Structure 1
Amino acid sequence: MKWVTVILSVALVCFQYSLWFGKGSWSDRENTKEQLALQEGENQTLILRNQFLAAEVDDLTHGQEAIAEIARVELGYVREGETFYRLIDR
């Protein structure tokens, strides 16, 4: 009977060790929660960016105003009859 008690005690200690210090332990669980919170924040940022890009794509596919605005800002497009003034800071 003494041997059974010793074996069960050793098994209990091994299981307790893995519970407190091994993979899936309490501290590992807390670290995983922190990583999850960080990832959820990053996902929210990416979701907002994707919504912005989807709206921009929708504007480009359905409206001519967005295309004209991009041409004016990025390419310096000027329509006929318009006067273009460029202000340069010194």
Structure 2
Amino acid sequence: MKWVTPLLLCLLVLLQYRLWFGKNSMPDYIGMQKEVQEQARQNANLVQRNSLLKADIEDLKIGLEAAEERARNDLGLIKQGETFYRILPSEN
């Protein structure tokens, strides 16, 4: 009977050591949780970007207005007979 208590105490210490310092320990678990949260944030950003790209693709497929708007914004193109005014924000 005298050896049961020290044996159980030793077993408890070994299990606690493995929990806190061994492979797949609590610090590893917490680090993996942070990585999962970061990956989920990146995935959400990519999903949002993909939805915007899909909307642009649909607009370009449907009509010329989207292509014209894109040419005006991205390339600075204007129609013949149009006057283009650029208003710059003040530097203050």
TM-score for the superposition, normalised by structure 2 = 0.68
Partners of 1:37 and 1:70 in 2: CA distance = 35
Name the residue aligned to 1:68.
68
How many pairs align? 89
Q: Which 5+ residue runs of structure 1 have no aligned equivalent? A: 1-5
Name the residue aligned to 2:30.
30
Partners of 2:84 and 2:70 in 1: CA distance = 18
Partners of 1:87 and 1:44 in 2: CA distance = 35
Superposed structure 1 runs of 4+ greater than 6 Å apart: 6-12
- Aligned residues with identical type, % of pairs: 36
The alignment status of 1:79 with 2:66, answered yes or no, reads no
TM-score for the superposition, normalised by structure 1 = 0.69
Q: State the shift of 1:24 in Å.
A: 0.6
Name the residue aligned to 1:42.
42
Q: State the shift of 1:66 in Å.
A: 0.7
